[in-house]
Structure formats: C-alpha cells, structure tokens
Amino acid sequence: MTSMPLSRRALLTGGAAVGVGLVVGFRLPWPDALAQSEPGKFAPNQWLSIDRDGLVTIVNSVPEMGQGTSTTMPMIVADELDVDLSKVKVEQAPANPKLYANPVTGAQSYGGSRGVRDHLATWRKAGAAARQMLRKAAADEWGVPEDQVDTEPGVVLHRPSGRRLLYGQLVDKAGKLPVPQDPKLKTKDEFRYIGKEYARMDLPAKTDGKAIYGYDVKVPGMLYASVERPPVVAGGKVKSFDATAAKQVKGVRDVVQVSNGVAVVATSTWAALKGRQALKVEWDEGAMATVSSAQISREYAELAKQPGLEAKKVGDATQALAASGGKMLEAVYEVPFLEHACMEPMNCTAQVTANGVTLWVPTQSPGGHQALAAKLAGVPPEKVVVNTTMLGGGFGRRGEPDFVTDAVETAKAVKAPVKVVWTREDDLKHSFYRPATYNHVRARLDAQGQPAAWFHRIVGPGILSWKGRLKPGAVDATAVAGAADLPYDILNLLVEWKEKDFGVPVGFWRSVGSSQNAFVVESFIDELAHAAGKDPFEFRRALLGKSKRHKAVLELAAQKANWGAPLPAGRARGIAVAFSYGSYAAHVAEVSVTPDGAIRVHKFVCAIDCGIAVNPDQVRAQMEGGAIYAMTGLYDQITLDKGRVQQSNFHDYPMIRMAEAPEVETHILDSGEPPGGLGEPGVPTVAPSVTNAVFALTGKRIRRLPIRPEDLKRT
C-alpha cells in the first residue's frame, strides 16, 4: 500500500474521500510470520513504519480528544524502537477493527480511560519487535553475532568496530526478516521517554490553526444540515411537516425526514439554521410528554423502600444494623442528570455513494460508527471510510450513534456530502445523560466508633441496561461502580441496585457510576467520622488496612495538603479517596463560603496512583481537567418538565470560568503497578472533597446536588 501524505488543505478539500482516511494506516496483520513491507519501507506491524530517509511514522489507534494519546503512544513505541521522538510523525489510525481494535475489549471504540492502560504492552512489543529486526538486519549485513549489535536513536551500531548504519539504510533488509513474537523489552532504567515529561506533540497544530476538528472539515460540493428534533428528550416522532417556508429561505436546498427528526439542508450553516426556524412540524410526543423531574424524584423515593438486586454482600448487614448499642446513621443522597457539554458540539460529515460511505467525524468509536454507517447505507463495513478528526471533548458522548445517523441518512437522501451541525441547545436538550439517582444509606457505629455495618440502596437507571446490553435480573456494573467496590474494612456490607428507567436517554459521562457513587460513599463515610468524633482523614486511614493503594494516595494527599494545619479564617478542608478505571486518587479541597451561600474552591491537592505514569506532565493535565470538569457537576443539573429538558445553553448550564478555577496541585505516586486510567479517575473524589469541606466550615451537610447557595446562605 502506498503512503499518501494528507495535508490540511487536502483534508479540507476532500482528499480523504479517496479512502486513505485522515491519515494512512498499514493493513498489516499483527503478529504475522513475516513483515509485510513494500520496497523502500519497513513496516513490521500496523503501528509503525520506517522509510529509506529514516522517517518514522507511528499510527495512533486511540482518538485524540485532549487526553494526550497522540503524544503518549509515540513515546511508548519510540522508546522501545529507540528513535528520537522529535523525528517521529504521528498519524491517526483508520477505522479497521481487525487491525486497530483495543487488545482488551476487542472493539475499536475508546472510553473508560483505556488508552495507555489497555495498549501499553502491545505498543511496547511493536516497537521492540521492529528494533530487534533492525539489529538482526545490521548483524547480517556485517556478518557479526547479533549480541555485538546495539542501537542508539535511529542508528544500529557494532560496538567492537564502531561501524554504524542508519535505520533508513536497513529498511529493505529488515523487511524480509520474520517478525519476532516475543521481543525483548527495555528495562525501566533504559527508558528515554516513558516516565519522563515531554511536551504535547499536538500543541503546535492546535495553536496555529492546523489541527482539524469535525467542525473544520470541508469537502467539495458539501452542504450543511441542521436537524429539528422533537421537543421531548426522547421518544418523539414526526407526524407531519410543512417545509414551504423553510425552502423559501435563501440557501436552503432540501428538507428531508430522518430518524431523529427533520433535516434542513442548505449551502451554509446559517441558512440551514434559518430554514430550520421556519420549518413547521407536528409531533407525536409519545410517553415522555408527561415525565418531570419532580415525578422522577418522588417515584425514586418510593422505590427506595423496596429491596433491590444484590450488588455486593459481605457478612450480614441487616442483622448488624438491627443490633443494639452504638450509633445508627441514615441519610438520603440525590444526584441529577448531567450533560457532557463538550466544547465542540456534536457534528459529522458524510458522503454516501454507490461505492460506499466516507465519514469525517470526531468519534470515540471509529469501529462502531463504521458499522453503523454501513448498516444505514446498506454496504459492507469495509466500504465505509472513517476519517477520525480531533475531538473537541469526548467524555463518553462521542461514542453515541445519533449525530452519525443524522449525517449518513441526510447525505444518502440528498445524494451529496453533508455536514450535520448541532447547536449548543441541541446538545443540551438531546443527549445521553449521566443517570440521576436516589441513594438510601445506613450505617451503625459500634461502641468504639467503628462502622459495624453499611447499607447502600441505589435507585435509578443503568447505562448498560438502558442500552439493552444487560441480561434481565443482572446488576448493571455502571450503576454500582464506586459503591459495590467499597474499599473500607467493614465486616457487614450490603449494596443494592433498584432499577428505574423513565425513558430518559442515559450514557457514559466522565467516570460514569463512580462520579455519583463516590460522592455518596465519601460523603457518608465523612458523616460517620464526624459522628464518631474522629478526624475524617484518620478515620478513613484506619479503615483502609486491606486497601494499601487507597491508603497510600490518601496519606500522600493529606501530607501534601498539610492536613490539620491551621488555615486562614473562613476556610476549611475536605478529603475523599476512590478507585476508578484502574487508578487510585485522593483529593483535599480547600474552600470558603460567602455570606450569600456561594462556594469558592481555592485549591485542590490531588494524589494519583496510576501505576506507570508514561508522561507525568500529562498526568497532571488530566487531574487538572478532571477537577474542573467535576466542579461543573457541582453546580449543574438537567431537569425535565413535560418531557422537555429545561436547560438550553451555558447561561443555565454554566461552565467553570477561568476566574473561578482553583489551583490544582497534583502528586504522582509511583507504585510500579501496571498502568491505570487517567481521564476518569480525576473526577470522582472532587465533589465529596468539596462538600466535606463545606460541612467542616459551616456544619451543613450537602446531600443533594447541585449545590444550592440558598442552602448555605447565612441568615
């Protein structure tokens, strides 16, 4: 296969439509008996190639959504390959699940902080195999034993004689060698990049405008479309529509019905939006037309009185709670629906022809969206080219099907390439939300102030269940994550899930179930500490005897935050610790509260154990981003009235502004364990650390989110 460099201009003018994708991958099996290299290019596997000029091209399989995979992946491969990272070109992999599927999940779909933690071993092996083949090729060229041959960045050398060959000089010879199946990996002390700080490789393109996001894509003959959707959040259908006025808007070319509503197609985004405003649609609103947030909360409360499915049981919590003596505590915690609020609204550009489909899309699921487009267009998946652009935020939202469905159906109907653009209002009112849940928690402290029993019943929908991926009667892991895996040493434990689905679309929101359940668990454990008259940090530490990594990050965060040291008047600290997505994190928040009840978070001190920290600078960036994202969740909510989402833009679903952002100080604990995730683990402990600090300062316990200033206002 011939490499075809794709410039920004080529992309914007539709160069990717010929089937090379945003970047060029290599259709090479891994592992295989022999390297499938063409003359002048050494490509021992699908992850990398070297040409005769010594240019190294590394193919990144994980979409770049701000998490830094376009830097960490090349760092890993280049380290084992032994090349200078500054001389490496990075390309985004095409949609091809046979070659680029996640080696753990088997799908070319990315979420759950699965970049480094699922691919580290594969990427290291890819680089090491190539390096071993280059050494073998040089040894054969010189007629010397392979153990006398070593490498320096981009060079193979024979140490006894000092002879040297550039990688580019060996590509033809190396390409004819068998691919080693178990190459020798470097030891930690040999790493040049892994574990070291390195600047993001995608920053220059992001700062000079060369980076291509979905909204930037332009192809020849492209039209623009905006879809009018039902007023209800889900389940509404078109009864009829009148496009007469819409078609009179200058620039409007067509109006077509699609699965999610009615698409207005025009020569510009502005014309499409103006045409959409003139469109007249009669809707069948369906069952959702009667659903309200007040109703959801009431029914959750009633269902919380009924037993749920058992998610985790240790000992006999029911009997232990009924025992006499000690102190009983009981509380209800509620969390709302939340939207992802990606800075780049949903969008997708599609072209459907008799020969297949081409997508230009910011997607977390190249393989999944390839299969979806194939089904919609009635073509085999291999006839669908997916050009994965950079993502202006993902957070789980860009793995959903709706925005791709819009584009493929519209492009197919009008027989032209179409970019479907969503507005901020579309994003907020028609999304897949973090589930709202109702949590009934109970615990009993014994005479020594130690928790003798813990009970937690979660009422709400499950994401896997809502998407039809769960067998009836099974517990949805997304609903109980962060609750069923309670780290504390409590002899009697019962966690239940009571499913209730009102039809509100739910999806994977950054850190998923751990985001809400860590808030509940770490707030209630804080309640137990105060009821026992003990320091919240010391109380937790004493209960983490069996959870060494939890304990280590808790201690590190407390130490670095100077836990227990005096603070300026009017400030207090709160602490929380949790596991999620392979990593352990703890936060200490320093907050103040104004007389009118507004919370100001001045500082977070975060400790993170993510196993191997490939790029510590990026670890800190992820913790900082996670903190800001989680803080937004403290103040926002999605509410419903008559099935309609009440929030519409950032005036009533506000983001944290620069002036409101706290200092985030991150400390990385090198545990030497396998890699964990980073995108999610920085989120769950933020909310409880803040609300626990509010309690320490005001004596008022926040059990219902979002935080309401009127609840903290001084009278």
Q: What is the 3-state secondary structure (H, E, C) of 27-47?
A: CCCCCCCECCCCCCEEEEECC
Report the pLDDT value the prediction gives residue 37, as an integer from 0 to 100: 62
Listing from the earlier edge strand, what are the strands of the sheet with 663-668?
Answer: 572-580, 583-593, 599-609, 663-668
Query: Token pair 């393109």 is at which residue?
Result: 205
Does the pLDDT value for residue 598 go beyond 60? yes
Report the pLDDT value the prediction gives residue 488, as an integer from 0 to 100: 98
Which residue type does 381 have? P
The C-alpha atoms of residue 97 and residue 100 are separated, in whole angstroms, by 5
Does the pLDDT value for residue 320 go beyond 80? yes
Does the pLDDT value for residue 512 go beyond 80? yes
Give per-residue pLDDT as tens, 549-566: 999 999 999 999 999 999
Other CB atoms within 10 Å distance of the CB of residue 206? 14
Report the pLDDT value the prediction gives residue 542, as an integer from 0 to 100: 98
Report the pLDDT value the prediction gives residue 39, as an integer from 0 to 100: 82
Does the pLDDT value for residue 508 go beyond 90? yes
Single out the residue of 675, 630, 645, 677 nearest to residue 509, CA to CA: 630
The C-alpha atoms of residue 449 and residue 325 are separated, in whole angstroms, by 11
Q: What angle separates helix 402-414 from helix 366-377, to the nearest 10 degrees?
A: 40
Which residue type does 666 have? T
Single out the residue of 384, 584, 618 nearest to residue 485, CA to CA: 584
The C-alpha atoms of residue 50 and residue 44 are separated, in whole angstroms, by 9
End-to-end CA distance of the chain: 73
At 21, the pLDDT band (50, 70, 90 cuts) reads: very low
Residues β-bridged to residue 347: 421
Other CB atoms within 10 Å distance of the CB of residue 177? 18
Give per-residue pLDDT as tens, 129-159: 999 999 999 999 999 999 999 999 999 999 9
User: What does 167-205 look like in DSSP terms, one character per residue?
Assistant: GGGGHHHHTTSBPPSSPPPPPGGG-SSTTS----TTHHH
Does the pLDDT value for residue 22 go beyond 50? no
Helix (H) or strand (E) run with residue 553 in it: helix 548-560
- Do you find a cis peptide bond into 31, omega within 30 degrees of 0? yes
* Exposure on the CB side of residue 444, measured as CA atoms within 13 A: 19
> What is the length of the chain?
715
Mean pLDDT of 683-711: 97
Break the chain down into helix, strand, coil percent, rounded to 5.
35, 25, 40
Strand 280-284, strand 252-258: pairing: unpaired
What's the pTM? 0.93
CA 396 to chain centre: 5
Q: What token pair was written down for 601?
A: 């978070």
Report the pLDDT value the prediction gives residue 503, as an integer from 0 to 100: 97
Q: What three-state secondary structure class fits 7?
A: coil
Q: What three-state secondary structure class fits 424?
A: helix
The C-alpha atoms of residue 286 and residue 622 are separated, in whole angstroms, by 41
Query: Token pair 């966690």 is at which residue?
Result: 495
Residues β-bridged to residue 358: 351, 385
The C-alpha atoms of residue 387 and residue 149 are separated, in whole angstroms, by 41
Give per-residue pLDDT as tens, 185-204: 999 999 999 999 999 999 99
The C-alpha atoms of residue 674 and residue 655 are separated, in whole angstroms, by 34
Q: How far is CA 103 from CA 116, 118, 260, 681, in A?
A: 11, 7, 34, 21
The C-alpha atoms of residue 148 and residue 146 are separated, in whole angstroms, by 5
Among residues of the chain, what percentage have pLDDT more than 70?
95
Q: Which residues, other chains included, contact 514 with Cβ-Cβ below 8 Å and sequence gap of 6+? A: 481, 482, 578, 579, 580, 581, 680, 683, 684
Asked if residue 140 lies in contact with residue 174, where contact means CB atoms within 8 angstroms, the answer is: no
**Exposed, middle or buried by CB within 10 Å (0-12, 13-18, 19+), for 603?**
middle
Report the pLDDT value the prediction gives residue 715, as an integer from 0 to 100: 74
Single out the residue of 245, 655, 571, 225 nearest to residue 417, CA to CA: 225
Give per-residue pLDDT as tens, 247-272: 999 999 999 999 999 999 999 999 99
